[in-house]
Structure formats: structure tokens, C-alpha cells
């Protein structure tokens, strides 16, 4: 998330991924003010105008937050409140409006007082790079963008090399050129490229890239041992040991390690972990949580505000909180384990009145 401090009460924010939206959902509260651009229907007041017809206009306004919720789970945030200011005379102050917070769209957040957890959530620098994953073979190529714990996969790119009719006309350089053009549309400064897949095609493609703008401006790594291309290859890589070795400093690698720790502790019948909301809430009563991971299931299956308050309390007591979604195997695993898991600093018995 890109942020800029305006004054002691105001911060300008641009969320960059679903993790940022979760952080903002944990920060924005009733009574805060949101300032930004939005679209509102302005009803026409002409003599013969239809009463239900209005014009959609872009305006800049300030609203005082009354309600806030994750819309479509992790895709965007819907903020409802009372309009305090606007740059359009047709928009009455005191009326209600829903402001949608989306990825890559800026807004200002004003608070009367910021808590330490809120400051940490919006101002902590994300040192994790964005990784562009390329799973390539002579027949097809999959491209994925991994940032934080969210994976976005583009539609497969096909070479047209299969079949006898293509044997004489097929030029792999044309296929590589098509892929590089697709990469140019999504690769940003400091992004790392990771290329894998069966056979020698990946090495040929990297050699091709080194002569292009992408190869000259970005670090490219070749990964062995992932023998699938396309979308399947992307998913296999995110579950592989290679992923943890190559991008060991990424948030997804950290989350995968924590999930593996929980499974090891479960096999050992240890009580230094929790699964499910009730167990995890009990451990938090003793400030025992070291790391917590939750998926959208925790929000879907429970009261949203209750979960948000709980996550903030865990962080206030020194725990580290990670969110995951269904775009990765890690998110699916956490969902299968009840939607929320944690590792503990010390063991807590199943009975809330006893500690080990």
C-alpha cells in the first residue's frame, strides 16, 4: 500500500492488492472521514424529466463513516456514510452515500486519533517484491502475478505449435515475442521474473528476454523441477519447495511455512497451535498467539466486525496476522482447517481456565 502523511490526522492511501484492502478494513472505523472521487446519480429537476431518471457524474466528496464492510469478500470495501462536503452544488450535504474503495484508486483517510495498530497497518513498508511467474513450454505459457499472498493468473498464451500443419511454419521466436508483450503490460519496476517449465524452452525464453527491455531492467531466475506449463504449472510452483527456496522472503513463503508448522504440531499432538475461531480466541485471551493466518471463510462464516476487532486485538497483543485467499494453495489449506489457524508462544489447554 502506498501512503503519504498529510498531517497528524490524515493519510493519503492507494491500496495495491487484496492484503491492503484487508488492512484498510481493519483501520477504517465509524466516525472516520473518507475523502475521494466517486460517482453519484444526480436527479434531473427539469419540468418534463422522468422522476426516476438521473445523470451519473463524477464528484469529489467527504463522508463521515457510518458503516463499512468487505464487498465480495476481499475484492473491495464499501463505506457508507453522511456527506459532509462535495464539489458539486447538486449534492446535498447531510445525505447518505456509499463510497467504494478499490485497488489502485486513491483516497484520503482522516481520523481524530490513530491507534498504534492502525498506524502500523497503513505505514508499515511492504518489503516483499512482486513476483511474475512464467510457466512455459513449446505449446503454451502461463503468466501469474504474485504479490503478498494473492495470485492473479492471466489467460494462457498458446503457441500453435501442435499438429502437423504447424511444423514448417512455426517460429518459436514469434511465440516468445507474444509472451514478452504480455509481460510488458504487467511488469513494474523492481518486479522479479521467475521462469520454469518442462524441457529447455524456459532457458531459450530467458535468453530471448535478455535482449529485450524486460531482461535488461529486471532480475530473471530459472527454476528447475517444475515440469508443467500454463496455469497448472503456476499452481504447482506455488505449492513446491522451489517456491520457498527461490522466494523465501515473500509473504506467501512465510505463510506456507506457518501452515506446515501447524500440521507438524498437530501430528505431534502438541497444544502450541490452534484451529478454528473459538480455539484461537481462547489462546488470545492469554496473549499466547505468535502468528495467525485467516482466510475469507473466517469472515464469511462469522460476524465481520467481530472478526476485525479480534484480529486487531491479536496484533495489539504482539501477534502477527496474515490474510490468505482462495487464489493460492495456502488459502485453500487454511479454509480447510476452519478458516483461521495460529501458532502459539506457549501451549494452552483446551480448558480456558488452565495453562500448560
Ordered per-residue pLDDT tens for the chain, 356 residues: 889 999 999 999 999 888 889 999 999 999 999 999 988 877 665 555 555 556 778 889 999 999 999 876 557 899 999 999 988 887 888 889 999 999 889 999 999 999 999 998 987 655 557 899 999 999 999 999 998 888 999 999 999 876 554 455 678 999 999 999 999 999 988 899 999 999 999 999 999 999 998 988 898 999 999 999 999 999 999 999 888 888 888 889 999 999 999 999 999 999 999 999 999 999 999 999 999 999 989 998 999 999 999 999 999 999 999 999 888 999 999 999 999 999 999 998 754 444 43
Q: Is 72 helix (H, G, I), strand (E, B) or coil?
A: coil
Helix residue ranges, H only, 56-163: 116-123
Ordered by where they begin, the domains of the chain are: 2-123 (2.30.30.870), 131-246 (3.30.420.60), 251-344 (3.30.1330.30)
Positive or negative CA dihedral for 285, 288, 290, 292? negative
CB neighbours of residue 51 within 10 Å: 8
Q: Which of 8, 34, 11, 149 is nearest to 86 (CA)?
A: 34
Nearest-10 Cα torsion for 107, 113, 116, 117 = -50
pLDDT at residue number 355: 42
The pTM of the full predicted model, rounded to 2 decimals, is: 0.84
d(CA 59, CA 210): 46
pLDDT at residue number 124: 64
Q: What residues contact 172, with CB distance under 8 A and at least 6 apart?
A: 138, 159, 161, 201, 204
- Would you list the DSSP string of 330-354? HHHHHHHTTSEEEEESS-B-SSTT-
Q: Which of 101, 93, 134 is nearest to 27 (CA)?
A: 101
pLDDT at residue number 53: 59
Give the H or E element holding residue 183: helix 172-184
pLDDT at residue number 303: 94
Amino acid at each position: 500500500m502506498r501512503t503519504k502523511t498529510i498531517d497528524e490526522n490524515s493519510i493519503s492511501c492507494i491500496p495495491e492488492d487484496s492484503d491492503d484492502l484487508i488492512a484498510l478494513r481493519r483501520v477504517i472505523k465509524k466516525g472516520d472521514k473518507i475523502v475521494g472521487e466517486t460517482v453519484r446519480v444526480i436527479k434531473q429537476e427539469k419540468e418534463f424529466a422522468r422522476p426516476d431518471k438521473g445523470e451519473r457524474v463524477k464528484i469529489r466528496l467527504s463522508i463521515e463513516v457510518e458503516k463499512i464492510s468487505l464487498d465480495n469478500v476481499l475484492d473491495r470495501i464499501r463505506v457508507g456514510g453522511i456527506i459532509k462536503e462535495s464539489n458539486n452544488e447538486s449534492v446535498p450535504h447531510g445525505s447518505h452515500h456509499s463510497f467504494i474503495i478499490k485497488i489502485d484508486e486513491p483516497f484520503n483517510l482522516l481520523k481524530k486519533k490513530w491507534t498504534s495498530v492502525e498506524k502500523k497497518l497503513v505505514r508499515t513498508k511492504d518489503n516483499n517484491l512482486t513476483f511474475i511467474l512464467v510457466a512455459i513450454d513449446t505449446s503454451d505459457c502461463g503468466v501469474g502475478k504474485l504479490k503478498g499472498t494473492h495470485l492473479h493468473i492471466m489467460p494462457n498464451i498458446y503457441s500453435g505449435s501442435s499438429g502437423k500443419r504447424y511444423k514448417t511454419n512455426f517460429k518459436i521466436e514469434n511465440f516468445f515475442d507474444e509472451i514478452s508483450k504480455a509481460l510488458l503490460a504487467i511488469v513494474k519496476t523492481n518486479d522479479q521474473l521467475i521462469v520454469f517449465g518442462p524441457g529447455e524452452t524456459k532457458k531459450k525464453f530467458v535468453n530471448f528476454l535478455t535482449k529485450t527491455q524486460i531482461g535488461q531492467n529486471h532480475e530473471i531466475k530459472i527454476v528447475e523441477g517444475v515440469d508443467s506449463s500454463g496455469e497448472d504449472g503456476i499452481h504447482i510452483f506455488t505449492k513446491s519447495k522451489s517456491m520457498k527456496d527461490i522466494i523465501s522472503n515473500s509473504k506467501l513463503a512465510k505463510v506456507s511455512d506457518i501452515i506446515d508448522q501447524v500440521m507438524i504440531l498437530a501430528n505431534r499432538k502438541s497444544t502450541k497451535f490452534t484451529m478454528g475461531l473459538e480455539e484461537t480466541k481462547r489462546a488470545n485471551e492469554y496473549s499466547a498467539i505468535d502468528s495467525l493466518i485467516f482466510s475469507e471463510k473466517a469472515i464469511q462464516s462469522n460476524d465481520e466486525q467481530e472478526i476485525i476487532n479480534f484480529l486487531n486485538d491479536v496484533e495489539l497483543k504482539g501477534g502477527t496476522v496474515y490474510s490468505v485467499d482462495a487464489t493460492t494453495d495456502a488459502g485453500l489449506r487454511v479454509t480447510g482447517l476452519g478458516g483461521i489457524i495460529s501458532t502459539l508462544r506457549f501451549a494452552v489447554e483446551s480448558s480456558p481456565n488452565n495453562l500448560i
